[in-house]
Structure 1
């Protein structure tokens, strides 16, 4: 394996000098759900990866009312081969192949995962390059290693940090202590937040392929004065003009303030809308009200659970219900939170998180930093798979055996507890990274 070479022309006075700058390139492939994605990254020593190019095609599931696994598998089988061919021609990969192939190994739908995993194996064999099978959610965590276009001076988070991952298939809060050590602090007890938002939007009659985005657009289209009116209406009971009841889940006299096991719960949001529709006609005004309240309360439920985790694991004391609660200091040293996943692209969610998170429980909140990946990199993409693969290569010095199978369920706290990891030879790493 030989790294690529680039000739750089440097001008000094009236003359020119030449030097060689060494780097390596990574081809990344993602197909865990309904997006076929490619990315070509360039990595130089000591610098963040550079995105050379990316490509994405998404299955339109509007007609089927949601993603059908067999349809997604067929979509990837039809699309990803031609995408590789087009991408290869665009960047001359046949004559100058990338140095590493990264692909999503799991978690996800097995049929969808198989499409990119199999083609990655073929490219690895054909080009004689190492393959790295990446955990999909690790990609969402590590996309924070790239500079943010809106805040380019923000440095990447330093371990330990919190990772709040909110997507269509997963919702969890992680304590990320290293690239391979992620402790699950909160996960959902029923469905993921993205799935809940999609189902709620569909129940309200909102149409489109990406229903979470469509719901966000619909809520944002509500006139400000009407949104302000809605914000002042309580839905704790049905004693409002809409007779619509919606409360934060897991709150109430039968739920301890600090439970032994922290969870999210998103199924009740759909149930509340269905209960309303069973005895009420959905008018445009009530549709606006329910959409506004549902989206906001879903986000506030997430923040409420995270705040309880800060109370439970923070380093500051807090008075609650006449008692002094002391955190166990598990979050000591945490000074960053990464928000990622498709739902993380919602601007209202980002604003609420910064406004309502109880950072005082972590100590000095003035030096706390939120990390919001670029909106286009919050949804599933191949760039994050390439970034995570680079971290696995450079930090863990591992690649993936070509005999591996896709993994439907792969807990984040068991990143290395699966078959197929191979330790790379030191000489191989040095050649690649030019140490």
Structure 2
């Protein structure tokens, strides 16, 4: 019997709906919110209002693109958290209403778990793409999280390392802001880094035990470095922007990779994946592939369409929960800080 899952994602500033049938993606619609750019970051109140405007047309379009009627949906999966509470509330409320109206099971999804399971979405343009074998290690990097996750099964995951302060994506965006780049700065740094020298400048690297990360010291080092250079030359940033971007990116990627290599050796695992918004960074993608060749890893890098927040990853997680009958009750509430994976 075919199983059709509708996924809903509204954890931050992207409203997304996707339809998956037996793990194969039928549609994945995303409505982004440009309003936040002028404020240099996501404004929660504006985000939740935009979700309220977008959720119905986005779901309607996703169902139409998939050629699926509402009464053909076997289950609806929705991001419970982590994320912005107001944004999550829009998605959860819609999902509950849909579940009641269609008398269909409801599955709650941890947003971070969804990022990891995006690797198991079967895409129409590449149906035979290899998928990670269990167990595997996943470097999960985004604007709010930097984690190394041990994945034993679809729904059996353990965080073995995480950030003790700021995340890698936050470091990219805040350092971009220091240089006067518009929000979001991460993609701009990636673009400019391709024209710069990654060894032009050196910035502080943290010394943190285990597999944990820290990026607050790097941000401070970058700020003070620019403060001192600009004091001597007001045009320093503009003259060296490409080299600054390349050096910053190389530093962040090196910090991420050092802990990943250490974890792979300690756990003796050669199946290595990367996920999350920062997995779209070309420097990190190249580093994962290079490490794979050096250490004999089998590496898995998601297509760019599945790196950012999207409902396909929520739907695939819901699919595996549906198979195990892990259903949520209608009393389920969104959680800004979700529980462990």
Same fold flag (TM > 0.5) = yes
What are the residue-to-residue correspondences of 1:186-201 with 2, within 5 Å?
A: 186-201=161-176
1:149 and 1:97 map into 2 onto residues whose CA distance is: 20
Residue 56 of structure 1 pairs with residue 30 of structure 2: yes
Equivalent residue in structure 1 for 2:246, among 255, 278, 292: 292
Shift of 1:155: 2.6
Equivalent residue in structure 1 for 2:76, among 77, 96, 101: 101
SS in 1 for 2:38: coil
1:402 and 1:42 map into 2 onto residues whose CA distance is: 24
CA distance 1:25–1:180, change in 2 (3 Å):
closer
Shift of 1:146: 2.8
| Alpha-carbon displacement from aligned partner over 1:341-388 (angstroms, at most 9, x marks no partner) | 01001222111123246975xxxx2xx311111111011100000011
Q: In structure 1, what is the equivalent of residue 211 of structure 2?
A: 262
1:81 and 1:148 map into 2 onto residues whose CA distance is: 24
1:181 and 1:343 map into 2 onto residues whose CA distance is: 23
Does the CA-based 8 Å contact 1:204-1:291 persist in structure 2? no
CA distance 1:232–1:55, change in 2 (3 Å):
closer
Q: In structure 2, what is the equivalent of residue 114 of structure 1?
A: 89
Residue 216 of structure 1 pairs with residue 210 of structure 2: no
| Alpha-carbon displacement from aligned partner over 1:266-298 (angstroms, at most 9, x marks no partner) | 122321232123232334232222111001110
TM-score for the superposition, normalised by structure 2: 0.90
Equivalent residue in structure 1 for 2:49, among 74, 78, 84: 74
CA RMSD, 1 decimal = 2.3
Q: In structure 1, what is the equivalent of residue 109 of structure 2?
A: 134
Structure holding more helix per residue: 2
Does the CA-based 8 Å contact 2:80-2:338 persist in structure 1? no
1:265 and 1:192 map into 2 onto residues whose CA distance is: 7
**Number of matched residues?**
335
Does the CA-based 8 Å contact 1:104-1:385 persist in structure 2? yes
Q: In structure 2, what is the equivalent of residue 385 of structure 1?
A: 314
2:291 and 2:70 map into 1 onto residues whose CA distance is: 53
Does the CA-based 8 Å contact 2:11-2:82 persist in structure 1? yes
2:133 and 2:6 map into 1 onto residues whose CA distance is: 26
Q: In structure 1, what is the equivalent of residue 204 of structure 2?
A: 247
Shift of 1:145: 1.2
Unaligned stretches of 5+ in structure 1? 1-21, 44-48, 236-245, 314-330, 416-435
Equivalent residue in structure 1 for 2:227, among 278, 283, 298: 278
SS in 2 for 1:63: helix
Equivalent residue in structure 2 for 1:349, among 279, 284, 287: 284
Equivalent residue in structure 1 for 2:338, among 383, 387, 410: 410
Residue 26 of structure 1 pairs with residue 5 of structure 2: yes
Structure holding more strand per residue: 1
Shift of 1:79: 1.3
2:211 and 2:66 map into 1 onto residues whose CA distance is: 47
TM-score for the superposition, normalised by structure 1: 0.72
Higher relative contact order (CA 8 A, sep 6+): 2
Shift of 1:308: 2.8
Unaligned stretches of 5+ in structure 2? none
Residue 144 of structure 1 pairs with residue 119 of structure 2: yes
2:66 and 2:247 map into 1 onto residues whose CA distance is: 47
Q: In structure 2, what is the equivalent of residue 305 of structure 1?
A: 259
Does the CA-based 8 Å contact 2:81-2:337 persist in structure 1? yes
Q: In structure 1, what is the equivalent of residue 300 of structure 2?
A: 371
